[in-house]
Structure 1
Amino acid sequence: MINFNGTILADEANILTTNRGFLYGDAVFETVKVVRGSILFLEDHYFRLMASMRVVRMEIPMNFTMEYFEEQLLMVATADGCSASARVRITVCRNDGGYYLPTTNEVSFLIHASALDQQLYSLPTADYEVDLFKDFYITKQLLSSIKTTNRMLNTTASIYAHENGLDNCLLLNDSKNVVEAIQGNIFMRIGNKLITPPVAEGCLNGVMRKQIIAIAKKTAIIEFVEEVISPFDLQKADELFITNVIKGIQPITKYRKKNFNTETAELLIEKLNDQINS
């Protein structure tokens, strides 16, 4: 028997009592954007999920090919009637059994989808203010670069942002350098130099981060580099923006007393949409 919110229930009434993703955060996930029945950046998402499973020593099923991955995600988007434009998440957790030491490395997965309003990416024009979150820090390690279900730091930072009237927070690593935002990678432009922190600093190895880097490297008017970003650098920046697969690019308009323009974000999102339509 289990006690759920003061009520005694049968064991089988709540599957989470043995789910390792719930009990220990023993799960990894991937969130994709579906547009017109196709998964954007399919290969990047698939190989990142496979890499994440290997890092945490999950056993990858023999049938879990990229074709199978695509088929399962699109099946859910279609069944939910949102294959025109959808946010689809797959969570892979180690199967039940054991405590910290699992009894098996075999896995199960759960997929769910929700409709999105837009197919292509658009640049938000509303004010978007951020500040630093300094209560907890990201560690510079491989686990920080993959998407696990242990997102307590991001959750706490989101609550902090809400309580302080902010739209987002910038997260710091244990060297007190700027690593990423709550739900995306951070890019900073100073002059014609576009900068994002290296993955070795502890930031997520983002799929949209990869796309923006590739586009920036082909753009002659921008010099792209991966460099450490300190909080002091933010005051010198001409532009800051956040990237993730669902929103594309989110410009930051204000950090403390500093205001930023959006010209690079406008250029990059235009090229991103051209790439999707090609």
Structure 2
Amino acid sequence: MVNINGNIVDDNQAILSLNNRGYAYGDALFETIRVNAGIILFWEDHYFRLMASMRILRMQIPSQFTPEFLEKEIKDSIEANGLMNSSVRIKLMVHRVSGGLYTPDSNDVEYNISVSKIQSVFYTIPDQKYEVTLFKDHYVNIDLLSTLKSNSKQINILGGIFAKENGFDNCLLLNSNKMVLEALNGNVFIVKGNTIKTPPLADGCLKGVLRTQLLRILEKLKDYTVEEASISPFELQKADELFITNVITGIVPVTKFRKKEYNVTTSKRLLGILNTKIRLGN
């Protein structure tokens, strides 16, 4: 079951027009949200990121788009799929209404919500190897638009194909200054001693919701020094740990980059703190 502008319909009835601007021009935004047994994780961060992104793209925010309205729409969609007692992945997409070519006829928006089940209730770290490489065929622009979760993700798609064809679990993307920016599906953190570093938004990385959560957690852990600063590929070879974050999988430790192998001590500690935060009501 899919929620199309408040109408919940079967998947095979969710018809997309060829004039849909999200399809035709990539004129759309989305939020990927984790919900555990009807509890939306980090909802406030998701909501305000979506509103800020809509303003940046000059979309008209409907008056009914309150946190309460969208939260109810999400939960109604989960209930319609019979998954209120499960962990689920929500994709909330907002696109400008059809009309116009590159220049839209209207800045009004429509939305849709899709639901899929997640097996684990809490974040876990699987005991398996996870190898990454650099994707250097294309570079991400250092630009405000690069920080948005938009439909324009060609570099991520090509990076995913590259990883699959070459036997890697993920790729790290570089910005136009050849600095490490993010993974295909999440933000990147490196650990060296007691210093934890992640690229700044000014470098063009995605403004990830779990990135925001971890930075808040790390502010309270006095045994770590946190830096939001550019990361060169050379630093990956010197780091003790490297991990990827997103709201669906949590923290994914990288075990190998080229000949460098990493430990997962900090990743496991932070994941434990994150799960405790979730249990206490994020």
Q: Could you tell me the TM-score, scaled by structure 1's length?
A: 0.94
Deviation at 1:220, TM superposition (A): 2.1
Residue of 198, 201, 206 corresponding to 2:200:
198
Aligned CA distance change for structure 1 residues 15 and 272 (closer, same or farther; 3 Å): closer
Match of 1:130, SS?
Answer: strand
Identity over the aligned pairs, expressed in percent?
49
Deviation at 1:78, TM superposition (A): 1.4
State the match for 1:68 in structure 2: 69
Q: Tell me, which stretches of 5 or more residues in structure 2 are unaligned? A: 1-13
**Residue-by-residue CA offset, 1:184-208 (whole Å, 9 max, x unaligned):** 0000001110000000101000000
Deviation at 1:77, TM superposition (A): 1.2
State the match for 1:187 in structure 2: 189
State the match for 2:151 in structure 1: 149
Aligned CA distance change for structure 1 residues 14 and 268 (closer, same or farther; 3 Å): closer
Over 4 Å off, 4+ runs: none
State the match for 2:141 in structure 1: 139
Deviation at 1:223, TM superposition (A): 1.1
State the match for 1:3 in structure 2: none
Match of 2:272, SS?
Answer: helix
The 5 Å alignment of 1:163-174 reads 163-174=165-176
Match of 1:235, SS?
Answer: helix
Residue of 262, 265, 268 corresponding to 2:264:
262
Q: Could you tell me the TM-score, scaled by structure 2's length?
A: 0.93
State the match for 1:9 in structure 2: none
| Whole-angstrom CA distance in 2 between matches of 1:146 and 1:179 | 14
Residue of 113, 116, 119 corresponding to 1:117:
119
Deviation at 1:91, TM superposition (A): 0.6
State the match for 1:4 in structure 2: none
State the match for 2:4 in structure 1: none
**Residue-by-residue CA offset, 1:42-93 (whole Å, 9 max, x unaligned):** 0000000001100000000001000011111111111112222100001100
Alignment size in residue pairs: 266
| Whole-angstrom CA distance in 1 between matches of 2:219 and 2:191 | 14
| Whole-angstrom CA distance in 2 between matches of 1:36 and 1:124 | 22
Matched, 1:52 2:53: yes
Question: Which letter does structure 1 place at the counterpart of 2:237?
Answer: Q
Please tell me whether the aligned partners of residues 124 and 251 of structure 1 are also in contact (alpha carbons under 8 angstroms). Answer: no
| Whole-angstrom CA distance in 2 between matches of 1:125 and 1:195 | 24
| Whole-angstrom CA distance in 2 between matches of 1:134 and 1:176 | 9
Root-mean-square deviation over aligned CA pairs: 1.1
**Residue-by-residue CA offset, 1:92-150 (whole Å, 9 max, x unaligned):** 00000000000000000010000111111111221000000000101111100010011
Mean Cα displacement is larger for which, 122-131 or 163-172? 122-131
State the match for 1:246 in structure 2: 248
| Whole-angstrom CA distance in 1 between matches of 2:265 and 2:70 | 37
State the match for 1:8 in structure 2: none
Mean Cα displacement is larger for which, 146-155 or 76-85? 76-85
Question: Which letter does structure 2 place at the counterpart of 1:220?
Answer: K
